């Protein structure tokens, strides 16, 4: 989207283009001040990228802004309206505990949302208190920054501020506010909201805005709304493939948690898989395993079909033709996903060229890993660095037979072994945010006000493809637990 504001070198440079949409899409908000805000963690690197003055943001005045006690210059606080299929059930939603200050125009000319999460009640709170607990906000900070380090499109975390107030969930917990940065907060659910409660003109205004903001190259195409649909499908195919390649499980792939920009958003009961098992679920509320690791690509396709349905009135004046255009576009997703996933798997195995049997080779390895409950991340690390002796898997007859096929496959490419190993090192992270390490950091922070454990974890996760010595300790698996690891929504 073109920037209407004059660029500044440093400081707040907010615009409010979303607030120029019809009022159907948002409610303006008054601030909900908190008692005694305290800065817990601040992302200096991100602040610099945004063109913000870190020194100003960590002083009392800046912390007041990050706590939602004060608006920055140029802000127009709003809560965005949207809907969503939550575990398959459609409902009206909206920002029930968040406010959008506006869009920061960075020194690079980028436009990004600045949102406070946990900032208090809004018209969409549905009886909730609009607040957030410290633990879940720190979890989002850790995981979103880890995803950024892994090179996966994601919202970012600028800061977490403790509110000095308690929130009541199952117990009394310390409250906090996260400052979230996103290319935008436009969701599939935003379009579902427009399609169900808006006019065709309001839906078109939203679609035009999405095209202009995220897909400006499509404005002049013969059918920009079809191009928008195709663009979102392509970005989501890339994104979900990237999730699968590092064992990331989102946990709540509701349509309100799928972005038009192609970013990962809303880190609630998310976690990373240790032992490879497509049925892995961590979320305490996903009883049926709808959002299990192996189901994520299919759910993404389902969500995109819901997005396509919202655009049918804009795709063509002939309803039948519009429906066919939508179906044809969505039908491309499975193959787009598979192509991105297989390309990523080739890279993880050091394979440069393409052969028809590559998919079977990868699936055979994954099947052996599942049978022997092998760790997903560390198996590929061991293949990268030939450290086979450490793992039971590599001594099994199945793996030995597979390894012969793998070596033969590598021999059928021009690139050297060194080139393959380099590609594998750049494709297989040395470290992920292991669940026990995340819990260790959160426990120290929330219970003991010791943030050093979290800060060290974030340092280790910053460059996961560095393969540095200090990362080895964080690659170790947890001790066998008495019960499966569970994560919780945090609302």
Q: Which residue has the tokens 């996260």?
A: 178
110 assigned to active site: no
* Residue positions counted in the chain: 491
Q: Where are the beta strands (DSSP E) in 130-247?
A: 132-133, 156-168, 172-182
List the Cα angle 12/14/20 in 5-degree steps.
Answer: 170
Whole-number Cα distances in Å, 295 to 203, 240, 244, 359, 473: 30, 11, 10, 18, 31
Q: 10: helix, coil or strand?
A: coil
| Residues in a beta bridge with 156 | 181
Residues 378 and 477 sit within 8 Å (Cβ to Cβ): yes
Whole-number Cα distances in Å, 223 to 213, 226, 352, 448: 17, 5, 36, 57
- Please, what is the end-to-end C-alpha distance for the chain in angstroms? 33
Residues 406 and 416 sit within 8 Å (Cβ to Cβ): no
Distance, in Å, from the CA atom of 18 to the CA atom of 15, rounded to the nearest integer, reads 9
Cβ neighbour number for residue 327 with a 10 Å cutoff:
12
Token couple for 236: 């989501």
Distance, in Å, from the CA atom of 153 to the CA atom of 183, rounded to the nearest integer, reads 10
- List Cβ neighbours of 404 (8 Å cut-off, separation of 6 or more): none
Nearest residue to 78 (alpha-carbon basis) of 104, 100, 103: 100
Q: Residue 100 belongs to what H/E stretch?
A: strand 98-105
Distance, in Å, from the CA atom of 147 to the CA atom of 169, rounded to the nearest integer, reads 28
| DSSP 8-state secondary structure symbol assigned to residue 392 | G
Query: Any alpha helices (H) in 217-332, and if so which ranges?
Result: 224-246, 296-315, 319-330
| Residues in a beta bridge with 172 | 168
- List Cβ neighbours of 148 (8 Å cut-off, separation of 6 or more): 154, 156
* Residue tagged active-site, from 95, 113, 129, 256: 256
Residues 392 and 398 sit within 8 Å (Cβ to Cβ): no
- List Cβ neighbours of 48 (8 Å cut-off, separation of 6 or more): 54
Catalytic residues: 256
């Amino acid at each position: 989207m073109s920037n209407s504001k004059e660029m500044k070198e440093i400081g707040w440079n907010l615009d409010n283009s979303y607030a120029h949409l019809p009022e159907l899409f948002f409610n303006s908000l008054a601030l909900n001040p908190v008692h005694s805000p305290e800065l817990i963690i601040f992302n200096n690197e991100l602040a610099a990228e945004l063109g913000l003055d870190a020194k100003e943001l960590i002083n009392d005045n800046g912390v007041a802004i990050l706590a939602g006690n004060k608006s920055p210059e140029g802000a127009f606080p709003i809560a965005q309206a949207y809907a969503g299929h939550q575990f398959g059930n459609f409902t009206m939603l909206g920002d029930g505990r968040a406010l959008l200050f506006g869009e920061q125009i960075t020194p690079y000319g980028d436009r990004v949302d600045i949102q406070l999460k946990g900032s208090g009640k809004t018209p969409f709170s549905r009886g909730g208190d609009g607040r957030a607990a410290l633990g879940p906000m720190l979890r989002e900070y850790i995981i979103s920054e880890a995803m950024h380090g892994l090179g996966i499109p994601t919202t970012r975390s600028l800061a977490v501020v403790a509110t000095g107030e308690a929130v009541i969930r199952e117990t009394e917990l310390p409250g906090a506010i996260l400052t979230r940065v996103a290319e935008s907060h436009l969701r599939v659910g935003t379009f579902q909201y427009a399609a169900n409660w808006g006019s065709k003109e309001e839906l078109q205004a939203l679609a035009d805005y999405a095209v202009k903001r995220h897909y400006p190259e499509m404005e002049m195409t013969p059918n920009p709304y079809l191009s928008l649909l195709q663009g979102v499908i392509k970005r989501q195919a890339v994104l979900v493939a990237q999730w699968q390649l590092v064992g990331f499980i989102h946990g709540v792939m509701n349509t309100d948690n799928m972005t038009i920009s192609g970013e990962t958003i809303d880190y609630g009961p998310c976690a990373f898989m240790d032992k490879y098992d497509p049925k892995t679920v961590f979320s305490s509320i996903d009883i049926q395993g709808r959002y299990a690791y192996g189901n994520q690509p299919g759910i993404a396709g389902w969500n995109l079909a819901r997005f396509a349905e919202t655009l049918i009135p804009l795709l063509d004046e002939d309803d039948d033709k519009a429906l066919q255009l939508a179906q044809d576009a969505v039908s491309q997703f499975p193959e787009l996903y598979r192509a991105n996933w297989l390309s990523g798997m080739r890279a993880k195995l050091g394979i440069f060229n393409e052969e028809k049997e590559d998919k079977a080779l990868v699936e055979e390895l994954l099947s052996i890993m599942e049978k022997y409950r092998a760790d997903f991340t560390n198996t590929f690390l061991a293949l990268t660095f030939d450290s086979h002796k450490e793992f039971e898997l590599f001594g099994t007859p199945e793996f030995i037979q597979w390894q012969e096929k793998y070596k033969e496959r590598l021999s059928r490419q021009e690139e050297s072994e060194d080139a393959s190993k380099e590609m594998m090192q750049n494709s297989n992270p040395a470290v992920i945010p292991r669940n026990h390490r995340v819990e260790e950091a959160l426990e120290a922070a929330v219970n003991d006000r010791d943030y050093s454990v979290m800060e060290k974890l974030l340092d280790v996760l910053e460059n996961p493809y560095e393969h540095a010595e200090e990362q080895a300790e964080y690659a170790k698996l947890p001790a066998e637990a008495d019960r499966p690891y569970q994560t919780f929504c945090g609302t």
